[in-house]
Structure 1
Amino acid sequence: MTLHEAIIYVLEGYGSAMSSAEIAKKIFDKKLYLQQAGSMAPAKQIRARARKYPQFFIIEDGKICLKTSLDFTDSQKNKTSINLCQFTSSPFPKSKCKENLPFISQEVSSNFKQGLAPWVNEKTKVLILGTMPGDISIQQQSYYLNPRNAFWKIINKLFNSTSRLEKNRSFLNNIGIGLWDVYKEGLRKGSLDTGFIGNPSTNEIKDLLNKYQSIKSLVFNGQNTYKAFLKAIGKVNIPCYVFPSTSSAYSRMTFEEKLKVWTKLKELLK
């Protein structure tokens, strides 16, 4: 995402004029745009970029706002443009969406992904972490629903004595398993970890562990999840285990080989 696209993104969500300092902080908090050193774009850079694109922005009384009708450049006219508020994944309240809000490119808005709430209760002993749910799971608001992901198949093999494939929260909670993700929201093309654009915002996992003292172990669904956790959150004071990713994108191991490692989950729940 370019800086001027990030400014459009923030202003459209806010719904009114903002100071350049406020815009800079919002962009940095959501990791929409970072400088090469990973630092926040300064307010003066926001102002300069707004002046560079008068077809998008109006600067009045020291604040920046969007034009109600954007005249896109030739390269942008080739993109399908739609209102960000049409997407249920929008991070902003629908009450701020107005008919005359400016438009942002579909490429930017459709790449915004928002994760799910944690499946945890007072009986949870093991918290399994992924990076962020795939698009199918986000759309259906439930974990690991891509039919090519082996997660539910593995869990049912280990803990279900019936022929029915369980894929629900109560099934896991009764076992003592909780689910959540490292990332809370961010820009990602598609469902794979390689599709992340910039640095997604992270979930407050340490706060969750403090709240639910029953959680005695963390299990990371794949090496990528573990690396993302260490980078974004750091070390924690409970045992951590890295199991092979249940995603079909991780094809170095067969299902049987993955199942054998995941069998260790039973020991962690004792």
Structure 2
Amino acid sequence: MDVPSMNGGVKHGLPPVARADARLLLLGSLPGEASLAAARYYAHPRNGFWRLMEQVTGVALDALPYDERIERLGERRVALWDVVHAARREGSLDGQMRAIEMRDLAAFVAGLPELRAIGFNGGTAARLGRRALGGAGLRLVDLPSSSPAYTLPLADKAARWASLAAFLD
């Protein structure tokens, strides 16, 4: 099991959040400082992930405690993980990652037989994830980053993220 770490500039990601019946897998790059410190996905209060996923799932997530958010995503058959297992990085920006160690995404995806699509949360996740997955035979969806560092207005991000709802029906 992966354990978050911030030792010596090397960051290790969080374990996957997934049920075997997941239909949609959302992949980020590598959790930022706030998420690693809290050992929770999308923990930075300005990250729009939970608000975006409210629109995708039709479930009010943002006001719920973290464990309930995760439970509700699982009920809607949504899984979370990241493409990077570990990297050297000062701060939270993807552009600062060095010595990147990738996850075995193909093996992980093979263990999700009902998976319909993979959404990449941001450009780095899409670039690295597409390379790691090759021809996975699934619908791959590039999404604007939910990070506050990506300054596209949340409403514009939501319009792009809304397409994910089709994979949950």
Q: TM-score range by the shorter chain?
A: 0.7 to 0.9
Q: Residue in 1 aligned with 2:112? A: 212
Structure 1's unaligned 5+ residue stretches are: 1-87, 91-108
Q: What percent of counterpart residues are identical?
A: 26
Structure 2's unaligned 5+ residue stretches are: none
Say yes or no: does 1:89 pair with 2:5. yes
Say yes or no: does 1:124 pair with 2:22. yes
CA distance in 2, matches of 1:143, 1:197: 21
- The count of corresponding residues between Structure 1 and Structure 2 is 163
Q: Residue in 2 aligned with 1:223? A: 123
Contact 2:51 2:62 in 1 (8 A): no
- The secondary structure found in structure 2 opposite 1:113 is strand
CA distance in 2, matches of 1:224, 1:174: 28
Contact 1:185 1:202 in 2 (8 A): yes
Instruction: Give 2:87's match in structure 1, choosing from 186, 189, 194.
Output: 186
Letter in 1 for 2:103: N
Letter in 2 for 1:139: A
Contact 2:53 2:61 in 1 (8 A): no
CA distance in 1, matches of 2:138, 2:16: 18
Letter in 2 for 1:262: W
Letter in 2 for 1:247: S
Q: Residue in 2 aligned with 1:239? A: 139
Q: Residue in 1 aligned with 2:166? A: 267
Instruction: Give 1:160's match in structure 2, choosing from 59, 84, 87.
Output: 59
Change (3 A) 1:134 1:246: same
Q: Residue in 2 aligned with 1:26? A: none
Q: Residue in 2 aligned with 1:173? A: 74
Q: Residue in 2 aligned with 1:65? A: none
- The secondary structure found in structure 2 opposite 1:139 is helix
Query: Which structure has more RCO (C-alpha within 8 Å, separation ≥ 6)?
Result: 2
Q: What's the offset of the Cα at 1:232?
A: 4.3
Contact 2:105 2:132 in 1 (8 A): no
Say yes or no: does 1:256 pair with 2:152. no
